[in-house]
Amino acid sequence: MGNIGDEYANTRHNIGFKIVEALADEAGASFVSDRLAFHTSFRLKGKSIHLIKPATYMNLSGKAVKYWLDKLEIPKEQLLVIVDDIAIPFGNLRIRARGSDGGHNGLTSIQELLGTTEYPRIRFGVEGNFPKGHQVKYVLGEWNPEEKKQLPDKISTACEAVKSFALIGLERTMNIYNKSGNRKP
């Protein structure tokens, strides 16, 4: 998940977009503007992978997710939402089969439109280093210099986790990547 527009491109809130863009680049796939989202697909070891970047802004992400799940006839169990999380240390991943929205408006939108919290998600840690009342400014702010240096490796690990989910499933992927530090296997 993320927000469309150049002003949001390198913000913490757009880490989901950065990860799917890295996956698409690695596969040689290009996003095209389509209904409610930018979409691309590619094959990974015989499996079809579809990536979307909702064009609805974060708070309405559920519209795009629901439309594409229905259009592509993908069951919710095969959906993987990638979202930023201020409660997790920078770059760490937390992969879950279900859960609350945790106050994240994008997840709230998806939950409302799918009518469930039962869908897999990867939460990418962006930490919560902001003064009280400045959360929006923080998540819509750009990475600090130290984070920028580490970000390519952290995105690479997240991409490996997404591919793992597609190839070996949620449970095994959780066992690998939910460990402290989220090092690659």
Residues serving a catalytic function are 13
DSSP state of 143: P
Cβ atoms of 135 and 103 within 8 Å: the answer is no
Neighbours of 36 (CB within 10 A): 19
Question: Which residues, 6+ apart, have CB-to-CB distance to 135 below 8 Å?
Answer: 86, 128
CA distance 170 to 112: 23
Neighbours of 162 (CB within 10 A): 23
Q: What angle do CA 115, 120, 58 make, to 5 degrees?
A: 65
CA distance 185 to 171: 15
Cβ atoms of 107 and 62 within 8 Å: the answer is no
